[in-house]
Amino acid sequence: MKEIVVEHLARVEGHGDIEVVVEGDTVKRAVLRIYEGPRFFERILIGKSYYEVPDITARICSICPDPYQVASCRAIEKAMGIRVDKQVEALRELQLIADVIHSHALHLFFLALPDFLGYRDAIEMAAQHSETVKLALKVKRVGNAIKEVITGRAVHGVTTKPGGYTKVPRAEDLEGLRKQLESSIDGAREAIRVFSSLKMPEYALDDNFYMAVDPGEHYGYSGDHILVSDGTRHPVERYMDLTNEVTVEHSSAKHSSYKGSSFMTGALARLLLNGERLYGEAKESYESLRDEIDPRNPFSNNIAQAIELLYSVQRAIDIIDGLLDEGIRDELMVEVKPRAGEGIAVVEAPRGLLYHHYKLDDNGRVVFANIITPTAQNAANIDKYLRIAVRNLKDLSDDELKLKLEMLIRAYDPCISCSVHLTRIGV
C-alpha cells in the first residue's frame, strides 16, 4: 500500500492538504482534506440588522469580499421589496468586475504560472520574467483601484448597502479609473498570450456538469437564473435543488452535487455557458482559442480566466463610459423601510456561483441565513479529478505526483477559507 499526504497546500487561499492511498493498481482514496477552522458566519448574522449584513459577510473573504457584499444586498432587497436604479446596478457590476480583475490576475500570474514555467514561486519567476510580472502587477492593481473608488477601500469596502451606496464616486474619479484601465489592459493581453502558449496538462479528463449565472444580454456576473450544461435554466430560488449539500468526513466544507454528480462552477463554466455573450477583443480571443479549451479538463480554467480578465477590463471601461455619458448623479440610497421577508440572490464570484439566502423579521433583522460558496460547490469535483489523476499518475515518484496534484487543485483557484461552514464535534 502506498500513502501520500501533501501537507499544507501552497499557493491557495486557506488551509488544506491532499491524502492519497493506492493499493496495487487500485486508488483507494484521493481527497482534498479541508481542515480550516469553523467560521459560523450564518450564525453570527442571526439578530443583526439588514444594514450590517454586507459588512459582516464581506469578512468571509479578503480576496473577493465584494461578491459577498453585492449578493447580500441583492438578497435583502428582494426580501424587503426594494428596487435600485440603473446607476446602482452599473456600480455593482463594476464592483464585481473589480474582484474578477484583481483575483484572476493574482491567480494566473502569481499562483498558477510558476508551476508551468518551472519555478517554486512568483518571486523566483520574476527574476527571469520581469516584464510579465510588471504587467501582471499593473492589471491587478487596477482591480483594487476600482474598489477604492466605489467602496472606499481596496479590501472590505464600507459604502455598499442594501438600497445603494452611501457615497457615489465623482466623475473625475471615474475618469481617472478609465485611464488606469486603459493603461493596464496589456496585462490582460499578456495573460492570454502566456497561457495560450502553454500546453495544458491532460492527466485528468472527464465529462462534467457546469453551472453559471444567466447574465442577460452581455457576459457578466449577476442574474436571477442559473444555467446548467444539460441545457436547463433554473430560477435562483431553486438553488438548493442545484447544490444538494452534504457533509463529508474528510472536509469541514460541505460537498455539492447535481443529479447525483459533482459539477464545476467558475470561469470555465461561465465561458462554456456564456461565451457567445462576450464581445470585442475578448470575444475574438475566445473564438481563436475555442479549440484549445477542453471542457473535460479543469486546467482549461486558466485560459478561461485569462479571457475573462481581458473582457473584464474592457467591460469596466464601457461601464464607466456609460456612467459618464449619462452623467453620474449624486443620488445616495433609496429609502428603506424594514419589513419581514425572504430573499435569495446569486452572483458570480471569481471562483463561481455564490448564493445568499436570508429571512428577515418585521424590524429587518436576520432570522435565517444560508451562504453557499463556489469552492464548496467545486469540492466534490476536485475530489473526482484527484482520483482520476492518481489513477493515471500513480507510477510517478512521490514528489512528481505531489506537484501534479497540487497543480490540479490550483487550477480550480480554490478559496478554502470561504468554503468552511461547519465543524464536527466529537462526544
pLDDT reported for residue 422: 52
Q: Do the Cβ atoms of 34 and 251 come closer than 8 Å?
A: yes
Q: Please, how many CA atoms are within 13 Å of residue 380, restricted to the half-sphere of its CB?
A: 19
Q: At what angle do helices 171-196 and 86-105 cross, to 10 degrees?
A: 40
Q: Do the Cβ atoms of 91 and 166 come closer than 8 Å?
A: no
Residue 166 DSSP label: S
pLDDT reported for residue 420: 74
pLDDT reported for residue 67: 97
- CA pair distance 219, 229, nearest whole angstrom: 16
CA-CA-CA-CA dihedral for 114, 65, 91, 43, to nearest 10: 150
Pairing state of beta strands 263-265 and 209-213? parallel
Question: For residue range 189-206, what is the model confidence (pLDDT) as tens digits?
Answer: 999 999 999 999 999 999
Please give the share of the chain, as a percent, with pLDDT higher than 90.
86
pLDDT reported for residue 426: 42
Amino acid at 412: Y
- CA pair distance 49, 54, nearest whole angstrom: 10
Which alpha helices (H) appear in 244-352, and where do they start and end?
267-274, 280-289, 300-326
The Cβ of residue 259 has, within 10 Å, a number of other Cβ atoms equal to 12
pLDDT reported for residue 305: 98
Residue 415 DSSP label: B
pLDDT reported for residue 282: 98
Q: How much is the pTM?
A: 0.95
Side-by-side strand order, sheet with 222-223: 222-223, 341-349, 352-360, 366-372
Query: What's the grid cell of residue 179?
Result: 485611464
Annotate 74-110 with DSSP letters as a single string: HHHHHHHT----HHHHHHHHHHHHHHHHHHHHIIIII
Q: Which residues contact 214 (CB under 8 A, 6 or more apart)?
A: 223, 224, 225, 226, 227, 233, 274
Q: Which residues contact 127 (CB under 8 A, 6 or more apart)?
A: none
pLDDT reported for residue 232: 98
The Cβ of residue 116 has, within 10 Å, a number of other Cβ atoms equal to 18
The Cβ of residue 245 has, within 10 Å, a number of other Cβ atoms equal to 17
Amino acid at 290: R
Pairing state of beta strands 16-23 and 2-6? antiparallel
pLDDT reported for residue 204: 97
Closest residue by Cα to residue 311 from 291, 338, 289, 335? 289
Q: Which residues contact 330 (CB under 8 A, 6 or more apart)?
A: 168
User: Which parts of the chain sit beneath pLDDT 70?
Assistant: 421-427
SS3 at position 163: coil
- φ, ψ for residue 245 (rounded to 5)? -65, 140
- φ, ψ for residue 225 (rounded to 5)? -135, 155
- CA pair distance 18, 34, nearest whole angstrom: 9
- CA pair distance 220, 214, nearest whole angstrom: 8
Q: Which residues contact 379 (CB under 8 A, 6 or more apart)?
A: 32, 34, 251, 253, 254, 255, 256, 419
pLDDT reported for residue 423: 42
Q: How far is CA 23 from the centre of its chain?
A: 36
Query: What's the grid cell of residue 247?
Result: 457533509
Question: For residue range 153-172, what is the model confidence (pLDDT) as tens digits?
Answer: 988 999 999 999 999 999 99
pLDDT reported for residue 424: 44
pLDDT reported for residue 34: 87
Question: For residue range 31-41, what is the model confidence (pLDDT) as tens digits?
Answer: 999 887 778 89
